Copies of this chain bind each other. A is one copy, B any other.
Amino acid sequence: MTVDLRVIRELEAIVGADFVRTEAGDVEPYSRDATPTFRAVPDAVVWPRTAEEVAAILKLATARHVPVVPRGAGSNLCAGTLADRGGIVLVLTRMDEILEVSSDELLARVETGVTTTALSDAAAAKGLLYAPDPGSRTVSTVGGNVATCAGGLRGLKYGVTRNYVLGATAVLPTGEIIKTGGRLWKDVAGYDLTRLLTGSEGTLGVLTEVTVALLPMPASTNTGVAYFPTLSDAGTAVGAIIGAGIVPATLEFLDAKCIGAVEEYAHLGLRSDAGALLLFGDDGAEDVVERNLTRIGEICTDTKAMEVTLAENIARAQALLEARRCSLPALSRLGTMTILEDATVPRPRLAEMVGRIDAIAASHDVPVATFGHAGDGNLHPTIVVDQHDDDGIKRAHEAFGDIFKAAIGMEGTITGEHGVGAAKLPYLTDRLGADQMALLRRIKAAFDPAGILNPGKLGS
């Protein structure tokens, strides 16, 4: 136990005794996040309510060298919020107020414990769109989204979370509360700390408030689906769509194994004889959406699609999107442990990479299915194993190691949108090189001299 009783009493003095927990039964839920196979039991779980409370906690932790792991909903898939070195898990879900939604300025200001969906809904109520839509959005917090620079299904046209963070309030590990950026789209006063904190996975500071950019809500949105004999044909279609000057909001794919699993799970009426499914969607003025989707459909037909269907109504469009969104739960039913990864390659190499993934999985004797963001080259290869099959789990991890190597070899990366966490830190040097890793550590030390904030993750 790295947190002694005196520290516990001080934590209670800061946040109130109700919001500090050390009993085994109370801390157990915080020993895991959404990442399978990783587990670490914290010594204490603390729920602060204000930035000032967070500052007092971090000051104390730095003075006593106690690890602090910030956490939102814990829906991350990279073991990014586990207390590997013990210490305190700092849960930010009590800080869940939507402080402001401004139509005039196209922005929202929220505490970081707000869920992504709550932010989206509050924006939508004023006719505005919060563009990032990560898969876990109904439970994930905005703070967690910013800390991991979360992506989502609209990334191709709209970009990822980093493009929408205008400003942040962050508490430094030494207790200072800083405000980076603000309410402006254009502000170059100082180093871009807003972006440096975005994607820093809770290792540089604890985000307590963010200001995010909103957009006018598009007047309409629609979705279509195309089936292809092979994933390579689908890849050709994606290249032709982009080549025709169309960058739709959504361009997602499922491989044959995913299609089968999704159909068995959700009975959406998907074809079982296709090698790949391409889901495409766009939003904007109704006639523009109609025109873009029709053109995409034609391009798919011209590039060997077996069948192309545009959703005839909103309900059907939602059902098609559901095919993509339920890929993970559908695959999860095939075993008792689902390990989903996030390798990314340049867009034209998507099909080649899926071929490599299949070959790698076969060589390690593990079943794999792959879905993901075709427009971004962002793949989610998913291996399903039995949670009691230690050797199977070991083979799965070895397969992912090879998959990461293959992605890097294609000028790709080990994570497009899920984060590094503890799960992928062992592969990060392969991606960045030793010089850049050393620089990351020096930056980490510039923020966190005592190394108390989420140790064992980025910057370690």
Partner of A192, one of B189, B195, B346: B195
Chain A, residues 179-209, CB within 8 Å of chain B (1/0): the string is: 1101111111111110110111000100000
Which residues of the partner chain B approach A37 to less than 8 Å between Cβ atoms? Answer: none
Q: Say yes or no: is A446 at the interface (Cβ < 8 Å to chain B).
A: yes
Q: List the one stretch of A12-20, A264-272, A330-338, A414-422 in contact with chain B.
A: A414-422
Q: A288-B288, A344-B184, A458-B191 are in contact. Are A439 and B447 (CB under 8 A)?
A: yes
Cα distance, A452 to B195, chains bound together (Å): 25
Cα distance, A364 to B34, chains bound together (Å): 61
Q: Say yes or no: is A362 at the interface (Cβ < 8 Å to chain B).
A: no
Q: Say yes or no: is A378 at the interface (Cβ < 8 Å to chain B).
A: yes
Contact A188 B199 (CB under 8 A): yes
Q: List the one stretch of A237-245, A308-316, A384-392 in contact with chain B.
A: A237-245
Q: Say yes or no: is A25 at the interface (Cβ < 8 Å to chain B).
A: no
Q: A216-B246, A217-B245 are in contact. Are A149 and B104 (CB under 8 A)?
A: no
Cα distance, A232 to B372, chains bound together (Å): 48
Q: Say yes or no: is A318 at the interface (Cβ < 8 Å to chain B).
A: no
Cα distance, A413 to B166, chains bound together (Å): 13
Q: Say yes or no: is A432 at the interface (Cβ < 8 Å to chain B).
A: yes
Q: Say yes or no: is A319 at the interface (Cβ < 8 Å to chain B).
A: no
Contact B192 A242 (CB under 8 A): no
Q: A184-B344, A344-B184 are in contact. Are A436 and B193 (CB under 8 A)?
A: yes
Which residues of the partner chain B approach A103 to less than 8 Å between Cβ atoms? Answer: 243
A52 CB to closest chain B CB, in angstroms?
14
A146 CB to closest chain B CB, in angstroms?
12
Cα distance, A435 to B431, chains bound together (Å): 33
Interface residues contributed by chain A, number (CB under 8 Å): 87
Within 8 A of B (CB), among A439-454: 439-440, 442-443, 445-447
Cα distance, A155 to B288, chains bound together (Å): 23
Contact B376 A415 (CB under 8 A): no
Contact B196 A192 (CB under 8 A): yes
Q: List the one stretch of A91-99, A157-165, A352-360 in contact with chain B.
A: A157-165
Chain A, residues 113-134, CB within 8 Å of chain B (1/0): the string is: 0000000000000010000000
Cα distance, A163 to B157, chains bound together (Å): 12
Cα distance, A204 to B436, chains bound together (Å): 13
Q: Say yes or no: is A247 at the interface (Cβ < 8 Å to chain B).
A: yes
Most chain B CB within 10 A, of A188, A196, A348, A433, is at: A188
Q: Say yes or no: is A381 at the interface (Cβ < 8 Å to chain B).
A: no
CB-based nearest B residue for A292:
B285
Q: Say yes or no: is A215 at the interface (Cβ < 8 Å to chain B).
A: yes
Cα distance, A424 to B190, chains bound together (Å): 10
10 A-B residue pairings within 8 Å (CB atoms): A149-B192, A163-B163, A176-B435, A178-B439, A179-B436, A186-B376, A186-B378, A191-B459, A192-B195, A216-B247
